[in-house]
Amino acid sequence: MIEELFGKRRQIRARWDQKRLPSKETIKDLLKRTMKIAPSKQNLFPFKIHAYGPDDLEERKIIGQICALFKTGSVNHMDSENKKGMIKTAMGNINVNEHVLDDQGNDMRLSPWVLVFEQRLCEPNNFIKEYAKLHNITDEARFTQVCPKRYRGASNTKLSSVEIGMFIKCLAGLCLENDLAISYIKSFPEWVWKDGNGGYSKDINKVGLSWDSLPDITEAPIMVVQIGHVAPGEDYFASNSVDPNDIHWENKPSLDTIVRFNK
C-alpha cells in the first residue's frame, strides 16, 4: 500500500487544476493530521509554515518568481524581455502559453496552495522545562531550538531542514490519499545566518525576485511545497522516472551506487 501510494507522486510543474481548489479546511486538516504523526526532536517542530491559498494570488505569483533562478528551464517565471513567451527546450523553441494555460486562460503553473517553511524560535515545552530542573541546567543553549542566540545557526538550520523533510513526507502521504498532488521546491535564494554581523547573508536572485519581496518571510526560508489537484492532460514540462523513451526521463542510479553494506 505504501509503495503504491508514493509511487503515484509526480512533480507537477504546469498542470495544476485551476477549477478544483482544495478548501482552507482541507489543507488545515491535512496539516493537523501530519502534526500527529510527524517526528520531531523533543516535539518542538522548529519551523513555521506560511500557507498561501486561492485567495492569495499575488503572493503565489511572487513565490513563483522567487523560485526562478535561471532564464532557461523554469516554467515559474517568464523573462520580462521575452514578449512572445517563447523558451528554448530540448525539443526546440516552444510557445509556453500553449502548454501552461487551460481552456479558460488560467495559468496552470500556479498551484492552488503554496506552503513556505521557514525557521522558527521555539518556546520550551514541558519536557525541556522538566529536564532542565532535573539536571539543574541553566544554559538554554543545550537545546538550540529554544535558544534565541543559537536557533538561527547552522546546527539548528540542519535540524530544521531534516524535520521539515520528514514532516513533508508525512504530509505527502496524506495528500496522495486524498487525491491531491504535492510538489517540492528548493530552488530559491538562500539565507545564511552570520553570527559576526548579527544578520542574514541573503542570496540575490538575478533572474526573478528575492524573498524580501514577500514581507511575511522574516526567518530563513527552507522549503516550498505546492498542493492541489492535477488538471487533465499532459504536463509538458514534467520529468519522470518511469519511461526511458521520454525526453524528460530522469533515470535513477542503481541501488548499488548509493548503498554499501558493511559485510
Average pLDDT over residues 59-88: 70
Whether the predicted pLDDT of 91 surpasses 60: no
Q: Is residue 159 part of a domain?
A: yes
- For 120, the domain range is 2-258
- Mean pLDDT of the region 141-166: 92
pLDDT digits (tens, 9 = 90+) for 216-261: 999 999 999 999 999 998 888 888 767 788 777 888 899 999 999 9
Range 6-27 average pLDDT: 95
- Whether 166 is covered by a domain: the verdict is yes
- Evaluate if residue 99 carries a pLDDT over 70: yes
For the residues 143-163, what does the mean pLDDT come to?
Answer: 93
Whether residue 24 is contained in a domain is answered as yes
Domain CATH code at residue 122:
3.40.109.10
User: Does residue 16 lie within any of the structural domains?
Assistant: yes
Evaluate if residue 55 carries a pLDDT over 90.
yes
- In a domain, residue 245? The reply is yes
Residue 98 has pLDDT above 60, yes or no: yes
With respect to residue 103, please indicate whether it lies within any of the assigned structural domains.
Answer: yes
In the chain, the number of structural domains is 1
Domain assignment present for residue 263? The answer is: no
Summarize pLDDT for 184-211 with one digit per residue, the tens: 999 999 999 997 667 999 999 998 999 9
133 located within any domain: yes
State the pLDDT at residue 82.
47
What average pLDDT does the structure give for the chain?
89
What is the 3-state secondary structure of the chain?
Answer: CHHHHHHCCCCCCCCECCCCCCCHHHHHHHHHHHHHHCCCHHHCCCEEEEEECCCCHHHHHHHHHHCCCCCCCCCCCCCCCCCCCEEEECCEEEECHHHHECCCCCECCCCCEEEEEEECCCCCCHHHHHHHHHCCCCCHHHCHHHCCCCCCCHHHHHHHHHHHHHHHHHHHHHHHHCCCEEEEECCCCCEEEECCCCEEEECCCCCCCCHHHCCCCCCCEEEEEEEECECCCCCCCCCECCCCCCCCECCCCCHHHHCCCCC
Instruction: Kindly tell me if the per-residue pLDDT of 35 is higher than 50.
Output: yes
